[in-house]
Amino acid sequence: RYDNDAIYTTIGDIVLSINPFKRLPLYEDATMAQYDASPDNKFFEDVLPPHLYTIGKRAFVDMTRHNRDQAILISGESGAGKTEATKIIMSYLANMSNGGNSSAQNSIETQVLQTNPVLEAFGNARTVRNDNSSRFGKFIEGMH
């Protein structure tokens, strides 16, 4: 799977990912639109491949349709891609929150993602594995 750039897999409600250490064409607007347009039930997971958008879609649907609070935990070793995964999920949730309205999505997404360089300036350092390694934990609370 890794050799074929299939970096995501699921185990129950968990999405596991492996950092490919390269840019992959997995996060285009068209891919996001596929997950947005998929049915708001568990069956979308049978049709679409595992992805970070799977976590975002599931959390958004449970939050908005079933009025359940959601928590997304991203963990892994240094250099595993936790910061990038967080950015990807936040971008997806911003898109879902605005009904796919790209101008509104960009506004919310931009505001949230622009906090990262400020935090990184104070809490990141170069390590053997990562030139810009987060040396702190992050707790992000979003209200919908």
81 is in an annotated binding site: yes
Q: Among the ranges 59-63, 127-131, 134-138, which has the highest mean pLDDT value?
A: 59-63
142 domain-assigned: no
33 domain-assigned: yes
- Give me the pLDDT at residue 105, please: 55
97 domain-assigned: yes
The mean pLDDT value for 75-81 works out to 85
Q: Which domain holds residue 45?
A: 2-134
Q: Is the pLDDT of residue 106 over 70?
A: no
Q: Is the pLDDT of residue 130 over 60?
A: yes
142 is in an annotated binding site: no
49 domain-assigned: yes
143 domain-assigned: no
Q: Is the pLDDT of residue 12 over 70?
A: yes
One-character DSSP codes across the chain: -GGGT--EEEETTEEEE---SS--TT-SHHHHHHHHHS-SSTTHHHHSPP-HHHHHHHHHHHHHTS----------STTSSHHHHHHHHHHHHHHHHTTT-HHHHHHHHHHHHTHHHHHHHHHEE--SS-TTEE-S--------
42 domain-assigned: yes
78 is in an annotated binding site: yes
> What would you report as the CA-atom Rg of the chain, rounded to the nearest whole angstrom?
15
138 is in an annotated binding site: no
CATH of the domain at 48: 3.40.850.10
pLDDT tens by residue, 32-60: 999 888 877 666 777 889 999 999 999 99
77 is in an annotated binding site: yes
Please state the pTM of the whole predicted model. Answer: 0.82
141 domain-assigned: no
Q: Is the pLDDT of residue 79 over 90?
A: no
